[in-house]
Structure 1
């Protein structure tokens, strides 16, 4: 499993360097106060070079949001190949318990700083339909991925013939809601109770051996 370091920590192109600077500027200034100058100050590039790659701040932020959400999906839906329920368990443990069964803490997958940046981006969807479109697509992509894992578990005989789309919707609401709660509060220990209830829920879906 690739553990998630700071996004774009080793940029290989000018665009990636701009994305890394955008991440750092968002972490320092927040979305509302972000400027192209703040981004340029964190790169070896000039403002004119940034404008060569992007039409302006909004165009840059849309491209950055898309790349960040791709990383977000990769971070939380990685798991053992060929083990769909193991992958789901890993995601649920990370978000609800705070670490995987083999001891990888959530901070190695999504740092608190990265969580804040993602939440800042999601908050913009309230006012910006373009950001909303990105999150709609990302939410749908994650639900589809969870649904595919559940369908694979049904096919291999681990689960009963469940409605994978509905179960995926339930699990995604729990995962995303818990991530927001972890980002905006300090007390996450109680989420272990949610994990226990999800265990009971999934146990009821498993095929009896």
Structure 2
């Protein structure tokens, strides 16, 4: 009987299963992925996976949440950091990711992007991606709002600005992954800096 759900899985066991899922997805892709493939990528028995997760779809749903947690929980900004510094940190994180012991940022984004593509036909996974998108957009919007309140940023539509920055980030990641444009993230960072962040500063608008 399965005990599906992250809260029911010991941390070490969950991480072993999730990292094995990374390796299996990287090798086989989502469509051809089998639970057996994941089991072959870890030292634990395959029965452990079936005990905690109700099949491939349930496992991938929790896997998506695992990926998202890695990114959302690793943005390190001092509580008293200026809005511009915090905004830069969040953009940098989205474009270039945190450090990982195994499978770098773009290895992980490749898997994320493949699942993102399949989400158009999967309501549950689409909801997870939508929620993640909204949290990214919301966190950027909040920083812009703080900057406006502190008089650092010009009085702009913060929600619209958050939307624009988030969409530029997503487009750059997709261009690198789908089209092989390895300089896309760096170009996006430079464009955001030049055409968005610099124009946000109060002194630049005077």
Task: Give the structure 1 partner of residue 69 of structure 2.
Answer: 70
Partner SS, residue 13 of structure 1: helix
Q: Could you say if the C-alpha distance between residues 182 and 108 of structure 1 is closer, same or farther in structure 2, counting changes exceeding 3 Å?
A: farther
1:142 partnered with 2:142: no
What is the alpha-carbon distance in structure 2 between the residues aligned to residue 59 and residue 193 of structure 1? 37
Partner SS, residue 31 of structure 1: coil
Task: Give the structure 1 partner of residue 121 of structure 2.
Answer: 127
1:45 partnered with 2:44: yes
Q: CA RMSD in A?
A: 2.6
**Structure 1 unaligned blocks of 5 or more:** 1-10, 99-105
Q: Could you say if the C-alpha distance between residues 181 and 79 of structure 1 is closer, same or farther in structure 2, counting changes exceeding 3 Å?
A: farther
1:56 partnered with 2:36: no
Task: Give the structure 1 partner of residue 200 of structure 2.
Answer: 205
Choose 155-164 or 188-197, whichever is displaced more: 188-197
Residues 36 and 46 in structure 2, CA contact (< 8 A), matched pair in contact too: yes
Residues 172 and 184 in structure 2, CA contact (< 8 A), matched pair in contact too: no
Residues 160 and 205 in structure 1, CA contact (< 8 A), matched pair in contact too: yes
Give 1:19 deviation, angstroms. Answer: 0.9
TM-score after normalising by structure 2 = 0.79
**Structure 2 unaligned blocks of 5 or more:** 1-9
Give 1:21 deviation, angstroms. Answer: 0.8
Matched positions, count: 190
What is the alpha-carbon distance in structure 2 between the residues aligned to residue 65 and residue 189 of structure 1? 26
What is the alpha-carbon distance in structure 1 between the residues aligned to residue 184 and residue 41 of structure 2? 39
What is the alpha-carbon distance in structure 1 between the residues aligned to residue 26 and residue 111 of structure 2? 6
What is the alpha-carbon distance in structure 2 between the residues aligned to residue 188 and residue 121 of structure 1? 20
Give 1:92 deviation, angstroms. Answer: 4.2
What is the alpha-carbon distance in structure 2 between the residues aligned to residue 190 and residue 33 of structure 1? 29
Residues 90 and 140 in structure 2, CA contact (< 8 A), matched pair in contact too: no
Q: Could you say if the C-alpha distance between residues 135 and 94 of structure 1 is closer, same or farther in structure 2, counting changes exceeding 3 Å?
A: closer
Runs of 4+ in 1 over 6 A off after TM superposition: none
